[in-house]
Structure 1
Amino acid sequence: MSYPLPPSARAWQEKVRRFVREELIPWEVHAEMNNGEIPKEARDGHFRKAREIGLHAISVPKEHGGAGLSMLEQVVIQEEIGKVTNALGWCYHSTPPWMLDACSPYQMETWVKPNVRGERHECYAITEEDAGSDVDAIKATARRDGDDYILNGEKWHVTSANHADHFIFQAKIADGPHKGAHCLFFVDQGTPGVSILRTPAYTHNYAAHHPIYRFENVRVPARNRIGEEGDGMGFTYDWFRYERIGIAARCCGAAARLIEEATAFAKERIAFGQPISNYQAVQFMLADSVTELWAARLMTYRTAEEVDAKVDVKVSHAQCSIAKLYASEVANKIADRAVQIFGGRGYMRENVAERFYRELRVDRIWEG
């Protein structure tokens, strides 16, 4: 079943699909058996080839050095990227678009433009031990001290921190007229007072880790503050919207890959004298999976079109959240069915269904 995509989106879909199939998927099992890692030359090759096909800074306007793609085009790309396991699809840079309007000229030159060019890499230090989806429950603080701020707090699940050279740190203003309001800061790796407490092991095998960091009396210049005191939550919500629709799209891609792989296996697997695809129990699982994927894709694509049409931000926030909720739950159900169809093979780490069964679980958790 197809969706009436514009020619530009269809071209991106075909180009990225070929890249994922030919360059990324062949490395899945190697990555799985090596803690998410593949040889450096292979990884560098993925980044280089991604850039050669234009897969770089896809959300950033062309005047800022990006590809300037529509949200629908980005969703189509993310769906294809979602078809590969072990985060091998994280092979291109995509600066969060909210930074372009939020950051000062100094911040644009110091962090944002180098990030767009792929020379610097950010990570988000928002979540805390007792503050996940309820971001307002964070305890991290920022206290003004002359021309500086003093930052304190402990941050969990700082995704990709081992590949980043700076943090985007979220805190509450400790005192003054904006006490309790949220604020974001750029903090460079290596700034005195920043320490890594530990790097937990997670269900998935990703080369990008999710360490726990402590920020203890970290002094940063006021020019590192993003926007004004109190703007932080608005920027975070903007980022959440962008990430949630991306998760929805990647879940659609994972579901499509699982359906394709499980269907091919069911046609070849002989049990009691005939392919298991002839049995209603298997047919029902595949039929339900195709139906739910179709619904998730319609929801995700339509949400992207609404973003491109600049629908009211509150409506967009709800739509992105709904798409993320539905698509992530659908992908998890389809992964479970795929494991069942593959049987014992589906419980082997070398099998795509087993990997997605573990990896997709987090999509119902992160980004709220």
Structure 2
Amino acid sequence: MTYALSPETLEWQRKARDFAEQLIPHEEAAEFNEGLLPKEITAGHRATGIELGFSRMDVPREHGGLQLPMLDQVVVWEQLGRVTNALSWCISEAHSWMYEACDAAQIEAYIKPIWTGEKTECYAITEREAGSDTHIETSAVRQGEHYLISGEKWFVTSANKAQFMFVQARVPDGQGGGEDALFFVDVDSPGIEIIDNPLFGHNFASHHPTYRFDRVRVPVANRIGAEGDGMAYTKSWFRRERLMIAARSLGAAQRMLEMATDWSKERVVGGQPICEHQMIQTMLADSLTDLWGARLMTYEAAKMQDRGEDLSVIHAHCSMAKLVASEMVNRVADRVVQIFGGRGYMRSNAAQRFYREVRVDRIWEGTSEIQRLIIARSLLKRGAERLIG
């Protein structure tokens, strides 16, 4: 039995799977070269992804996009999740919420270039003391037709590839009453300094540096929406990112399960394939069952958006999908490394790369603990029947 998908969705699945299969042969080269591939290869992957439409899946049709159903987008990112070393990050995506938040000039200058491939963005939200605690200390003080932004931003993923940032900052005395605003900030603006570029457990070409902002002058025209709207837009970004983390987790888990199943049939111990051993069968069965449950939950969270259900309920379901799928893929990765034995701990084995890479999915875009708080608060406010029927 498989989840019922439309012919259109299945076609997007096929396109994404074929694209992933083009990337997979380059994983080892990236792993042993700090995540990097030759520029011409990366440029070719980027051009192919854009040509296939992956960068404008969520863009409204009136702005030149495809405006795909959310389920189709999840299916695409599920297939791209089969690839290690973040090689599928060769494309950037513009999101539908950006077209609701930004004015025409901002769309032309910043949003359209994301999906055409002319510019790459990054998100400067997290701070030293503002991760799970979302109280932002970075300030944006208005002076005439500019804001002066000061503070530090941590873990600015893909900043080394970006031309501009989405920066969230608190406006102390603004119309939002000291609430957050969101800004476009060009990475080469005077007053921006990289103060650290830490190494992480994965080998990605996308880095996660720390930036200091020292009275960086940003035009009022670069503010997204009104003062006080920053957190609302960030929540829109979180909803999508959490759902796509869940989708990528599904793809990673399925590839690992396929690898482990094939290996267990080939590997002979004591005169028989290890798939005949009940302990191996238990790990395979648990992985398959975990994957199926997480897929059902993730697909349903996407379909809820396609049906236009209540946004507050969708927000909770995106948290549920991320929680379940990211925890699931970590369990699968652990089992698959164990099934491969010593070979599973070799960096040349995709299982070992996944084992390192998927760990962060339980942390970024809201830790598993934060997802549980979001879900519990929604339950206490709305009741189980409102959330799950």
Give the secondary-structure state (helix, strand or coil) at the position aligned to 2:189: coil
TM-score relative to the length of structure 1 = 0.98
Counterpart among 296, 301, 304 of residue 299 in structure 2: 301
Asked whether the 8 Å contact 1:65–1:116 carries over to 2, the reply is: no
The 4+ residue runs of structure 1 with deviation greater than 4 A are: none
Partner of 1:220: 218
**1:17 equivalenced with 2:17 (yes/no):** yes
Partner of 2:278: 280
What letter corresponds to residue 303 of structure 2 in structure 1? E
Partner of 2:91: 92
Within 2, Cα distance between the matches of 1:91 and 1:177?
A: 39
Q: Deviations over 1:191-213 (max 9, x none)?
A: 11111112100111000111000
- Mean CA deviation greater in 110-119 or 25-34: 110-119
- The Cα of 1:224 is off from its aligned counterpart by 0.8
Partner of 1:249: 247
Matches within 5 A, 1:149-298: 149-298=147-296
Matches within 5 A, 1:106-117: 106-117=105-116
Q: Deviations over 1:14-67 (max 9, x none)?
A: 12112211x100001111011101111111111122233332321112221222
Matches within 5 A, 1:120-135: 120-135=119-134
Asked whether the 8 Å contact 1:24–1:88 carries over to 2, the reply is: yes
Asked whether the 8 Å contact 2:50–2:117 carries over to 1, the reply is: no
Within 2, Cα distance between the matches of 1:300 and 1:43?
A: 30
Within 1, Cα distance between the matches of 2:175 and 2:168?
A: 18
Partner of 2:326: 328
Counterpart among 290, 297, 312 of residue 310 in structure 2: 312
Distance change in 2, residues 1:220/1:54 (3 Å): closer
Asked whether the 8 Å contact 2:55–2:94 carries over to 1, the reply is: no
Within 2, Cα distance between the matches of 1:292 and 1:111?
A: 40
Give the secondary-structure state (helix, strand or coil) at the position aligned to 2:297: helix
Within 2, Cα distance between the matches of 1:153 and 1:96?
A: 27
Within 2, Cα distance between the matches of 1:160 and 1:214?
A: 16
Asked whether the 8 Å contact 1:65–1:117 carries over to 2, the reply is: no
What letter corresponds to residue 50 of structure 2 in structure 1? R
Within 2, Cα distance between the matches of 1:115 and 1:343?
A: 42
Asked whether the 8 Å contact 1:139–1:172 carries over to 2, the reply is: yes
Within 2, Cα distance between the matches of 1:308 and 1:35?
A: 39
Give the secondary-structure state (helix, strand or coil) at the position aligned to 1:252: helix
Give the secondary-structure state (helix, strand or coil) at the position aligned to 1:245: helix
Within 1, Cα distance between the matches of 2:51 and 2:186?
A: 29
What letter corresponds to residue 94 of structure 2 in structure 1? T
Matches within 5 A, 1:66-81: 66-81=65-80
Which stretches in structure 2 are left out of the alignment for 5+ residues? 367-389
Partner of 1:50: 49
- Mean CA deviation greater in 306-315 or 54-63: 54-63
Within 1, Cα distance between the matches of 2:48 and 2:36?
A: 18
**1:4 equivalenced with 2:4 (yes/no):** yes
Within 1, Cα distance between the matches of 2:30 and 2:304?
A: 37
Q: Deviations over 1:284-331 (max 9, x none)?
A: 000000001000000000110001111111101000000000000000
Within 1, Cα distance between the matches of 2:123 and 2:320?
A: 23
Asked whether the 8 Å contact 1:56–1:67 carries over to 2, the reply is: no
Within 2, Cα distance between the matches of 1:256 and 1:78?
A: 13
